[in-house]
């Protein structure tokens, strides 16, 4: 069962790279958005996902999953079109999304605000050399082509980065590389553009920026789609493996519906024969080759640790009226992180509740 894509309208325009064009495809008035939602069959489930690569490519790749999900749960599933992290965050806050594919701060905030609940996450091979990692991209040609040169004089470089909610596009490089070297992304570079991973890579390849935050998964996709531009780029830094993305559902859903969605995701791509092969091809297009595994809110503990690490680095690097003020801030951060850990660890698998 399948429903048409749902545009989320009435969201603020951003001047971020490329997203204004995407928003033009999907935006309208708030009343118009409500009208389009009302035209859907009443039991339709609304699935939100950020554009991976391009918005249309992302929607096309998810479509077979949503069709199969609709047949399994007995309700049509409509894709919700959003151009940015902020748009998806607002859609969740306004109850315009029933389930979503999220990562990083977006997923953590949705769960901590008790709007959503984790049911599954992307399955990865532990310790695999090709694990999902944050990277920095620069051109191969000088002069802006080495990590040493970047760290020595960031004020000479233009950066293309992801939204501040993005794990690989902002949080990890900021927490693990830039702040430990006394570099604040928002203030130390001579210029800054913000966009999707595809857009930031293109910005560097085409000379509109000198360094870009990205990740190994999206870089692989970029190499397939833009081989000429990718040949101009090199990786000058990479992080440790980053946490996988989660699929979340509304926390107020009936348990039976949550279980049906969870069961569908855990089984997707695992059966033998042509149907399983077709599903595994879909998973490869989503760069989730091993499919999804059952998860609960505790899957977000690594993300909470990253957020805490970033906040601590900022507190340590910031200017304070006194050391006592810095210590007070650090103590508050510790208390907040402990509260988040307690909340996330309360969650058991639905099958055990």
The answer to the question of residue 278 being in a domain is yes
Task: Give just the sign of the alpha carbon dihedral 88, 92, 95, 97.
Answer: positive
- The predicted model gives 172-187 an average pLDDT of 92
Of the residues 222, 241, 260, which one is the last residue of a structural domain?
Answer: 241
Assign 161 a pLDDT band (cuts: 50, 70, 90). very high
Q: What is the pLDDT of residue 313?
A: 86
Does the pLDDT of residue 54 top 80, yes or no?
no
Count how many domains the chain has: 3
1 falls within a domain: no
Beta bridge partners of 122: 292
DSSP H helices in 127-170: 147-152
**Does 210 lie in the same domain as 101?**
no
* Residue 324, token pair as written in the block: 């006592």
Mean pLDDT confidence for 311-325: 88
**Per the domain annotation, does 226 fall within a domain?**
yes
Answer yes or no: do 119 and 252 share one domain.
Answer: yes
Rg (CA), the chain: 21
Question: Where among 241, 264, 287 does a domain terminate?
Answer: 241
Is there a single domain that holds both residue 121 and residue 254? yes
Same-domain status, 236 and 275: no
More confident residue, 230 or 315: 230
> What are the pLDDT digits (tens) for 22-35?
333 333 333 333 33
- The answer to the question of residue 147 being in a domain is yes
| DSSP 3-state of 301 | helix
pLDDT band for 52, please (50, 70, 90 cuts): low
Name the 3-class secondary structure at 295. coil
Query: Is residue 31 a part of any domain in this protein?
Result: yes
CATH assignment of the domain containing 193: 3.40.190.10
Strands (E), 216-276: 233-241, 246-250
What would the mean pLDDT of 155-168 be, rounded to a whole number? 93
Q: Which of 241, 266, 286 is the last residue of a domain?
A: 241
Please tell me which residue, 148 or 57, carries the higher pLDDT value.
148
Taking a C-beta distance cutoff of 8 angstroms, is the pair 138, 130 a contact?
no
More confident residue, 32 or 163: 163
User: Can you tell me the mean pLDDT for 311-338?
Assistant: 90
Say if residue 91 is in the same domain as residue 146.
Answer: no
User: 116 and 20: one domain?
Assistant: yes
Contact criterion met (CB below 8 Å) for 26 and 100: no
- What is the pLDDT at residue 59? 78
The boundaries of the domain holding residue 101 are 6-125+245-297
Q: What average pLDDT does the structure give for the chain?
A: 84
Do 116 and 260 sit in the same domain of this protein? yes
Poorest-pLDDT segment among 3-17, 240-254, 297-311, 323-337:
3-17
Q: What band does 272 get if pLDDT is binned at 50, 70 and 90?
A: very high
Alpha-carbon dihedral of residues 37, 39, 41, 43, nearest 10 degrees? 30
pLDDT of residue 297: 94
Each residue's pLDDT tens digit, 79-107: 887 778 888 899 999 889 999 999 888 99
Peptide bond into 143 cis (omega under 30): yes
Residue 94 lies in a domain: yes
pLDDT higher than threshold 60 for residue 327? yes
What pLDDT sits at residue 335?
95
41 pLDDT more than 60: no
The more confidently predicted of residues 231 and 82 is: 231
Looking at the domain assignment, is residue 337 inside a domain? yes
Residues 120 and 171 in one domain: no
pLDDT at 163 over 50: yes
Which tokens sit at 323? 């050391």
The pTM score is 0.80
Q: Are residues 163 and 233 in the same domain?
A: yes
CA separation for the pair 313, 124 (Å, rounded): 28
Same domain, 118 and 142: no
Kindly indicate the confidence band of residue 319, based on its pLDDT and cuts at 50, 70 and 90. Answer: confident
Is residue 44 scored above 90 in pLDDT? no
- 17 band by pLDDT with thresholds 50, 70 and 90: low
Q: What is the pLDDT of residue 287?
A: 84
pLDDT tens-digit readout, 111-157 = 998 889 999 999 976 655 457 899 999 999 999 999 999 999 999 99
Q: Do 318 and 255 sit in the same domain of this protein?
A: no
pLDDT the model gives residue 152 = 96
15 with 102, same domain: the answer is yes
């Amino acid at each position: 069962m399948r429903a048409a894509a749902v545009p989320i309208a009435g969201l603020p325009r951003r001047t971020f790279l490329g997203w204004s064009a995407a928003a033009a495809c999907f935006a309208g008035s708030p009343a118009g958005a409500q009208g389009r939602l009302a035209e859907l069959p009443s039991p339709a489930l609304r699935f939100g996902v950020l554009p991976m690569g391009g918005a249309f490519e992302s929607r096309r790749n998810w479509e077979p999953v949503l069709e199969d999900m609709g047949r399994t749960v007995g309700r049509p599933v409509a894709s919700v079109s959003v151009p940015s992290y902020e748009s998806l965050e607002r859609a969740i806050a306004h109850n315009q999304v029933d389930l979503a594919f999220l990562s990083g701060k977006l997923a953590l905030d949705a769960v901590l605000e008790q709007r959503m609940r984790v049911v599954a996450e992307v399955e990865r091979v532990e310790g695999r050399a090709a694990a999902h990692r944050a990277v920095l991209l620069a051109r191969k040609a000088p002069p802006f082509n080495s990590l040493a040169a970047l760290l020595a004089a960031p004020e000479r470089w233009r950066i293309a980065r992801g939204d501040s909610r993005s794990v690989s596009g902002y949080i990890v490089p900021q927490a693990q590389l830039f702040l430990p070297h006394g570099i604040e992304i928002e203030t130390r570079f001579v210029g800054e553009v913000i966009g999707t991973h595809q857009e930031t890579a293109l910005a560097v390849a085409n000379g509109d920026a000198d360094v870009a935050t990205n990740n190994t998964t999206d870089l692989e996709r970029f190499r397939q789609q833009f081989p000429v531009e990718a040949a101009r780029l090199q990786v000058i830094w990479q992080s440790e493996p980053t946490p996988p993305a989660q699929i979340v559902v509304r926390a107020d859903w009936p348990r039976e519906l949550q279980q049906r969605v969870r069961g569908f995701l855990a089984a997707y791509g695992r059966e033998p024969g042509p149907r399983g092969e077709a599903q595994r091809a879909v998973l490869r297009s989503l760069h989730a080759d091993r499919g999804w595994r059952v998860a609960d809110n505790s899957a977000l503990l690594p993300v909470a640790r990253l957020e805490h690490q970033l906040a601590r680095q900022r507190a340590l690097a910031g200017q304070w009226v006194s050391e006592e003020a810095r210590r007070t801030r650090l103590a508050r951060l510790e208390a907040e992180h402990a509260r988040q850990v307690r909340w996330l660890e309360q969650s058991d698998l639905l099958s055990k509740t």
